[in-house]
Copies of this chain bind each other. A is one copy, B any other.
Amino acid sequence: MPVDDPMMGGQSRRLAVLRAIVEDYVATEEPVGSKALVERHQLGVSPATVRNDMAALEDEGYIHQPHTSAGRVPTDKGYRLFVDKLSTLKPMSAAERRAIATLLDGAVDLDDVVQRSVRLLSQLTHQVAIVQYPTLSRSTVRHIELVPITPTRLMVILILSTGRVEQRLVELGHEAGEDELAALRVRINQAASGVRIADAATALSTLRDDVPHEVAGLTDEVVAVVTEAMSDHRSDERVAVGGAANLARYGDSFDSAVRPLLEALEEHVVLLRLLGEATTGGGVTVRIGHEGPYSELASTSVVATGYGPSHEAVAALGVVGPTRMDYPGSMAAVRAVARYVSRILDES
């Protein structure tokens, strides 16, 4: 058994101390000392004993002392242990449940669902919230519509199972008759409707051989633009951000923490990387400080999870905040919102 295994026999009080330190530090934002700790928690021992435990915890790297004769502050490793072993998800209050339900049920379309989720999540957690739009790649094609704008211009509209709509304008090399379009509309929908985006491209590519000779050119042009729209990664990268005003609560360490985060919030690619692998795996993912991919964001944590219809995660949502954040509360909020959003996607 490794020497720094925190679950080692007889160390349960040590862990209680760590838990208390994390909770107090999150609440007060100030290094917590042994005396304050025994006053605020029922540890049943004296400050001196707590000090011994603290010294041990510090040796093991779970807490840290800003300077001699100061209180202790959890390290990233300490938060990690707290999240993994010491915390239980804070149940949502009835009021919070109601807020989630009433706010999200009023959404009229996918865009609205995402916007409301972001707002809700930031209000529940008092953190910056990030919601990724459902990705194209896992959704299916619901319908493809061809709309003539002028005789040589065609608007191709791609409707997906998630409710997303992609539109592309096609300049045709020649005029296209209404009959040809109608025929193509039927064929193309027969081939692609209900098919996953990932498979639709191949389904469409075989289409050319089946259509009447005279619309082959038209078919090629339309199929090309549909394929391009489906593979267009720009649409996979859409995210909504909300609650940036909560950054004002950072108080201390402005330049070192808020500026990089503000910059990150504008770079949606960065945000997607922050959400990271949250899409895979069922539970809520927590990335603490340096565990994330960006060294500038070493003092921020990400709590995220996947969501999507039919228990299939097609996108991720979560919150970003200081490492010193309320993990149980954030995790519970993220999970609750993800579940509710997933259910809404199921229904529509």
Residues of chain A whose beta carbon lies under 8 Å from any beta carbon of chain B: 109, 112, 119, 142-143, 145, 147, 149, 155, 157, 159, 165, 167, 234, 242-245, 247-248, 254-255, 258-259, 262-263, 265-266
Kindly state the separation between the CA atoms of A298 and B348 in the bound complex, as whole angstroms.
45
> For A265, what are the chain B residues with a Cβ–Cβ distance below 8 Å?
244-245
Residue contact A258 to B248, C-beta cutoff 8 Å: yes
25 contacts between A and B (CB under 8 A): A109-B167, A112-B234, A119-B266, A143-B147, A143-B149, A143-B155, A145-B145, A145-B147, A145-B157, A155-B159, A157-B157, A157-B165, A165-B165, A165-B167, A244-B262, A244-B266, A245-B259, A245-B263, A245-B265, A245-B266, A247-B262, A248-B255, A248-B259, A248-B262, A248-B263
- Separation in Å of the A256 CB from the closest CB of chain B? 11
Residue contact A147 to B159, C-beta cutoff 8 Å: yes
Nearest CB in chain B to that of A119: its residue: B266
Nearest CB in chain B to that of A248: its residue: B259
**3 closest A-B pairs by CB:** A248-B259, A245-B262, A245-B263
Kindly state the separation between the CA atoms of A242 and B119 in the bound complex, as whole angstroms.
18
Question: Copies of this chain, how many?
Answer: 2
- Separation in Å of the A185 CB from the closest CB of chain B? 10
Nearest CB in chain B to that of A165: its residue: B167
Residue contact A243 to B259, C-beta cutoff 8 Å: no
Kindly state the separation between the CA atoms of A255 and B244 in the bound complex, as whole angstroms.
14
- Separation in Å of the A143 CB from the closest CB of chain B? 5
Kindly state the separation between the CA atoms of A265 and B247 in the bound complex, as whole angstroms.
13
Kindly state the separation between the CA atoms of A142 and B149 in the bound complex, as whole angstroms.
8
> For A145, what are the chain B residues with a Cβ–Cβ distance below 8 Å?
145, 147, 157
> For A112, what are the chain B residues with a Cβ–Cβ distance below 8 Å?
234
> For A119, what are the chain B residues with a Cβ–Cβ distance below 8 Å?
266
- Separation in Å of the A271 CB from the closest CB of chain B? 13
- Separation in Å of the A230 CB from the closest CB of chain B? 15
Kindly state the separation between the CA atoms of A149 and B141 in the bound complex, as whole angstroms.
11
Kindly state the separation between the CA atoms of A109 and B165 in the bound complex, as whole angstroms.
13
Nearest CB in chain B to that of A167: its residue: B165
Kindly state the separation between the CA atoms of A265 and B266 in the bound complex, as whole angstroms.
13
> For A245, what are the chain B residues with a Cβ–Cβ distance below 8 Å?
259, 262-263, 265-266
Residue contact A242 to B266, C-beta cutoff 8 Å: yes
Kindly state the separation between the CA atoms of A245 and B112 in the bound complex, as whole angstroms.
25
- Separation in Å of the A295 CB from the closest CB of chain B? 17
Of B142, B155, B234, B244, the contact of A244 (CB 8 Å cutoff):
B244
Kindly state the separation between the CA atoms of A265 and B147 in the bound complex, as whole angstroms.
37
- Separation in Å of the A166 CB from the closest CB of chain B? 9
Nearest CB in chain B to that of A261: its residue: B245
Kindly state the separation between the CA atoms of A255 and B234 in the bound complex, as whole angstroms.
36
> For A258, what are the chain B residues with a Cβ–Cβ distance below 8 Å?
248
**Sample of 19 further A-B pairs with CB below 8 A, known A143-B147, A245-B262:** A109-B167, A112-B234, A119-B266, A142-B149, A143-B149, A143-B155, A145-B157, A147-B159, A155-B159, A159-B167, A165-B167, A242-B266, A243-B266, A244-B265, A245-B259, A245-B265, A248-B255, A248-B258, A248-B262
> For A142, what are the chain B residues with a Cβ–Cβ distance below 8 Å?
149
Kindly state the separation between the CA atoms of A147 and B167 in the bound complex, as whole angstroms.
14
Kindly state the separation between the CA atoms of A157 and B156 in the bound complex, as whole angstroms.
12
